[in-house]
Amino acid sequence: MTLDTVKHAAETPDTDQPWAELGLKQEEYERVREILGRRPTGAELAMYSVMWSEHCSYKSSKVHLRQFGEKAPETDALLVGIGENAGVVDVGNGFAVTFKVESHNHPSYVEPYQGAATGVGGIVRDIIAMGARPVAVVDPLRMGAADHPDTKRVLPGVVAGIGGYGNCLGLPNIGGEVVFDACYQGNPLVNAGAIGVMRHEDIHLAKASGAGNKVIMYGARTGGDGIGGASILASETFDDSKPSKRPAVQVGDPFQEKLLIECTLEAFAEKLVVGIQDLGAAGISCATSELASNGSGGMRVELDDVPLRDSTLSPEEILMSESQERMCAVVEPAKVDRFLEICEKWDVTATVIGEVTDGDRLEIYWHGEKIVDVDPRTVAHEGPVYERPYARPEWQDALQGDDAAKLARPANGDELREQVLKLVAHPNQASKSWITSQYDHFVQGNTVLASPEDSGMIRIDEESGLGVAIATDGNGRFAKLDPYHGAQLALAESYRNVAATGAKPLAVSDCLNFGSPEDPAVMWQFAEAIRGLADGCQQLGTPVTGGNVSLYNQTGEAAIHPTPVVAVLGVIDDVARRTPVAFAEEGQLLYVLGDTRDELSGSAWAQVIHDHLGGLPPKVDLERERLLAEILISASRDGMIDAAHDLSDGGLVQALVESCLKGGKGARVVIPEGQDPFVTLFSESAGRAVVSVPRSEELRFTDMCGARGLPATRIGVVDGDTLDVQGQFSIALSDLRRAHEDTIPGIFA
């Protein structure tokens, strides 16, 4: 077979090419021909197809994502923003923190263990590529109905993959969440986040500069696993009849990644690296084109020099392979030998595969013949941009009109008690300890808070106690009812969760999970959610530093609920002053902060008791969220509260149950005069938290709330071994614990 070289391509313009099978539209293929002035070679076609995929190019989302830059709040904390492998923020004392959330949804449905494991591996390499040591991971998950047979296949495999990979890397898993809903049945969401720490001067960027500098590929050898995996799997509607079902899911090796981490950090410490890029989706195609596009020159690559696990791979397959645990570094010639020595020390395969040139082309050779000759910007950054049509769906008015106010409410204390027990035993509200116990929370010894706390928290400086907190949240039910406010509610909850532990929210990363962008209704949901999130971040002063868009999350015509997952990172001066959720001291006073309204549409109560979704979600008041956060942070810092828990899914009663069970202490609760006990307990009004206040601090605490204009309502006291809502019902903690903790093991163990 004749090698498809650049010269051969120019001489054979009419050769049929499999552009459709590789996921390109006809107009995209024609545009590639126009850019090149000829038909592409097979290798060029492979590169354009993976780099122009939805997953890599954001071609349907770019026009909306620009709002994150246009509306970005001014802040001195942001060191690196959107466009790099991960965002970086200044957390003080010369430290910087990088963090990001990404998706590995479709691969995790095809092969749950490896899909989830390599999702963790990929996000960790993004963190390494910024120059940071990874210190923790988080895992926001969305699964189908808990009792569905396929959920019993997917969830245990996903959990084992996350735990197996993260535990082997020695990274604590400190947060995330698991939500079950039938809308995710054929399309679970496996999002993964990671945090890394570095000094300001250690930040690295993905760019290839300096003619003559060498391009070194290091890490695992390239194999046939994952050819077109994430890039194609994530870029088509999930359907058995589509070719996207077939690409092999990547296979991870966490021990190889651990060596890669240590090797990379040692090379950074010796200032050996000019630019660096991890090899994730689109593999070598991505790493070479992005490094060259971001740099000041071109690049020449000898593909024969790429270390292979499978010698039968074609050049196209080598360029598309998404084999894991691989990175590309740009190194000055005088430092190459030392770089290779460090790789050898850590038993990491490393090979010089090319060099930076003074031109503006990415040229790739195979067996001495040129098989790629492209402007790297056209591959990496100048792909198609679609302004997809979008329209508010016809059914939205009817959905919003179907308010939860019509649903039958409990008529007395006995019915309240029955519904509380049913709520806390539902898979969404039940304890997830069966899942989280498979993760190591405390490896490295710096974990301060971990699941099921409101946010995970890590100490990053032993001397000062400086730490960072992270929370991830996203309510697809609220976003289905109102995508604009649903996205803001996800932001508000994550922001509130961070503040509840005593940390000041700084910045945001997101993972935006939606159905097909070719559906105008889905595209409307996406556009509204972006607008809501951008407006919310602007108002709260928390810039979006980066993230991920995951589209085509649907099976056939059935899209998932729009699910923007929002991660908020916060900083705390001294982790010794953090606030846990547990009620631990009898006699402490319980206060609800914020206003409780009759807001039950989209709530956990509506779902669990009535299997209902309709109406409008709770109102969003971001200024109230900011005020609540300031109070929680000040009270934590000054020792005025001993416990705090945000009020969200399940309302006050869910928060009380969780805080009582975590601390092993009961609570006596009095419904405030004039309030409906049902609304008080089950409402999901935003901008609220429950706190426990030492009696000696009550006056100081209430004076602070009063002076700042935050409603603070005393509702009871930490006491005994029951949850006693006076005049309504009483439930022993032992009965609550059984209801709360037996559900998930009963389904999956």
13 φ/ψ angles, rounded to the nearest 5 degrees? -65, -20
Q: What residue ranges do the domains of the chain occupy? A: 1-70+204-380, 78-197+454-545+559-571, 399-435+579-749
Q: How many CB atoms lie within 10 A of CB 66?
A: 13
Instruction: Inform me whether the pLDDT recorded for 144 exceeds 50.
Output: yes
CATH class belonging to 399-435+579-749:
alpha beta
Distance (Å, whole) CA 611 – CA 598:
19
pLDDT more than 90, % of the chain: 91
Mean pLDDT of the chain: 94
**Torsion angle of alpha carbons 296, 297, 302, 308, nearest 10°?**
20
Q: Which helix (H) or strand (E) holds 563?
A: strand 563-572
* Distance (Å) of CA 359 to CA 37, 73, 273, 456, 613: 19, 38, 21, 47, 58
User: Which helix (H) or strand (E) covers residue 457, if one does?
Assistant: strand 456-459
- Averaged over 62-77, what is the pLDDT? 94
Cα separation of 97 and 101, whole Å? Answer: 14
DSSP characters for 677-712? Answer: HHHHHH---SS-EEEEE-GGGHHHHHHHHHHHT--E
Q: What average pLDDT does the segment 539-548 reach?
A: 96
Instruction: Compute the average pLDDT of residues 87-103.
Output: 95
What whole-number distance in Å separates Cα of residue 299 and Cα of residue 212? 9
445: left (phi over 0), alpha (psi -120 to 50) or beta: left
What is the percent of the chain with per-residue pLDDT over 70, rounded to a whole number? 97
**Cα(277)–Cα(399) distance, integer angstroms:** 45
> Rounded distance, CA 593 to CA 598, Å?
16
Mean pLDDT of 191-220: 92
Contact 502, 642 (CB under 8 A): no
Is the fold of 1-70+204-380 the same as that of 399-435+579-749?
A: yes
List the catalytic residues: 55, 104
- Yes or no: say if 327 and 129 are a contact pair by the CB < 8 Å rule: yes
Region of residue 399 (phi > 0: left; psi between -120 and 50: alpha; otherwise: beta): alpha
Asked if residue 538 lies in contact with residue 531, where contact means CB atoms within 8 angstroms, the answer is: no
Domain 1-70+204-380: give its CATH superfamily: PurM-like C-terminal domain (3.90.650.10)
Buried b (16+ CB within 10 A) or exposed e, 81-115: bbebbbbbbbbeeebbbbbbbbbbbbbbbbbbbbb
Q: How confident is the model at residue 231 (pLDDT cuts 50, 70, 90)?
A: low
> Do 529 and 487 form a contact (C-beta atoms < 8 A)?
yes
- In sequence order, the β-bridge partners of residue 713 are 592
Phi first, then psi: give them for residue 38, nearest 5 degrees.
-170, 175
Q: What is the mean pLDDT of residues 570-593?
A: 97
| Euclidean distance between the first and the last CA atom of the chain, given in angstroms as a whole number | 54
Report pLDDT for 239: 43
Assess whether pLDDT exceeds 90 at residue 206.
Answer: no
Tell me, what's the pLDDT at 205? 81
Alpha carbon 421 to chain centroid, angstroms: 31
Residue 511 has pLDDT above 60, yes or no: yes
**Token pair in block for residue 709:** 């204009």
Contact 498, 90 (CB under 8 A): no
Query: Given pLDDT bands bounded at 50, 70 and 90, which one contains residue 232?
Result: low
Give 582's contacts (C-beta < 8 A, 6+ positions apart). Answer: 643, 659, 662, 663, 664, 665
Task: Place 229 in a pLDDT band, splitting at 50, 70 and 90.
Answer: low
Residue 227: per-residue pLDDT: 79
Q: Which CATH architecture has domain 78-197+454-545+559-571?
A: 2-Layer Sandwich (3.30)
State the average pLDDT over residues 480-496. 98
pTM of the predicted protein model: 0.95
Highest mean pLDDT among 198-207, 235-244, 535-544: 535-544
Q: How confident is the model at residue 243 (pLDDT cuts 50, 70, 90)?
A: very low
| pLDDT tens digits, 655-701 | 999 999 999 999 999 999 999 999 999 999 999 999 999 999 999 99
**pLDDT score for 474:** 97
Say which amino acid occupies 538. Answer: Q
Q: What is the bridge-based pairing of β-strands 712-718 and 589-593?
A: antiparallel
In the numeric block, the tokens 């996921």 are attached to 23
Question: Residue 476 and residue 300: Cα distance in Å, rounded?
Answer: 46
Nearest to 51 by CA among 372, 387, 513, 368: 372
pLDDT tier for residue 247 given thresholds of 50, 70 and 90: very low
Give the mean model confidence (pLDDT) for residues 42-60.
93
Q: What was the pLDDT predicted at 236?
A: 54
